[in-house]
Structure 1
Amino acid sequence: MAMLHEFKQFAMKGNVIDLAVGVIIGAAFAKIVDSLVQDIIMPPIGKLIGGLDFANYYLPLNNQDPNLSLVEAKKLGAVLAYGNFLTILLNFVILAFIIFQMVRLVHKARNKLEANAKPAEEAPPAEDIVLLREIRDALRK
């Protein structure tokens, strides 16, 4: 029973709940970025390169007709699907760039907030403190 109580305390800590929320939001954000890359960014890039989908680029590893689609070629034997790899690699680069830009914006915003929130310069010491310091310095002489 003690272990169950300890687990309950652990699971209800703020850090664990924050982590769970972060994972859930991260998964939802990954879907958004994936859609951005697949549906908005990749089609124009594919059109610029020749109007073809990268995912269908492959090299047949046995005597297959190279004009088949990737799905048909895979049914007939082994293929080196480098186009799919290129698509995933490009997705990663775009995703990393987007995340970098987001982190950069957050850091800029945080730096601005910290700059605005800096405490004002220390107030000059009170007159009695200044007087006591003068007396101390005079006694030292």
Structure 2
Amino acid sequence: MGFVKEFKEFAIKGNAFDLAVGVIIGGAFGKIVTSVIDDLIMPIVAALVGKPDFSSIYFAMGKGAENIPAGSTLAKAKELAPDAAIFAYGNFITVAINFILLALVVFILVKTINKMRKTEAENPAAPAAPTATEQLLAEIRDELKKK
């Protein structure tokens, strides 16, 4: 088998194609979930906690830390005290909250889909009524069986 033919079979094979579609849909879904978290949920969390951006929370220590005025942004603190050890834990808090919210959204989505599947499995769709042609053929079959 030639290389091109073998590659074509691999690329068009159902599993590889399904995987590619899944990756593309997953990327698009990831953007939707990120938007839900960043644009809808995080502002509510920030309003409750009182900080619009956790990434600017830090603790400066060591040489030059005393030169940083209270309330300075992280970028300003790094600029004012380049030799200070800056423990920037706020970004970790933001990432951790984003992860928890992302996991919660995915959990709710999976739970909802599983519930829909379970309901669909419990209540299968009624079989469609036979068409006029099928009824006529059944009558003909029954008549032929009688003879």
Aligned to 1:139: none
Per-residue CA distance 1:85-116 (angstroms, 9 max, x = gap): 11111011111111111111111111112122
- State the distance in 2 between where 1:86 and 1:51 align: 12
Distance 1:14 1:56 in 2: 48
**Matched position secondary structure for 2:94:** helix
1:69 aligned to which of 73, 84, 88: 73
Opposite residue 27 of structure 2, the aligned amino acid is A
Structure 2 residue 68 is matched with structure 1 residue 49: no
Structure-2 residue corresponding to 1:132: none
TM-score, normalised to structure 2, is 0.71
Percent sequence identity is 44
* Structure 1 position 13 matched with structure 2 position 20: no
In the alignment, which residue of structure 1 is the partner of 2:95?
88
Residue by residue, what CA displacement relative to the aligned partner does 1:46-93 show, whole Å, maximum 9, x if unpaired?
A: 122124421111112433315321122334254222111111110111
- Measure the CA separation in 2 of the matches of 1:118 and 1:31: 35
Query: 2:132 — aligned with what?
Result: none
Shift of 1:28: 1.3
The normalised TM-score by structure 1 is 0.74
Distance 2:120 2:33 in 1: 28
Kindly indicate whether structure 1 or structure 2 has the higher relative contact order, using CA contacts under 8 Å at least 6 residues apart: 2
What CA distance in whole angstroms lies between the structure 2 residues aligned with 1:96 and 1:69? 30
Amino acid corresponding to residue 41 of structure 1 in structure 2? I
Secondary structure of 2:72's match? Answer: coil
Taking the aligned partners of 1:61 and 1:30, their CA distance within structure 2 comes to 37
Equivalences, count: 119
C-alpha deviation, 1:3, in angstroms: 2.3
Q: Which runs of 4+ in 1 moved over 6 A?
A: none
Gaps of 5+ in 2: 127-147
Cα gap change, 1:73 to 1:5, in 2 (>3 Å): farther
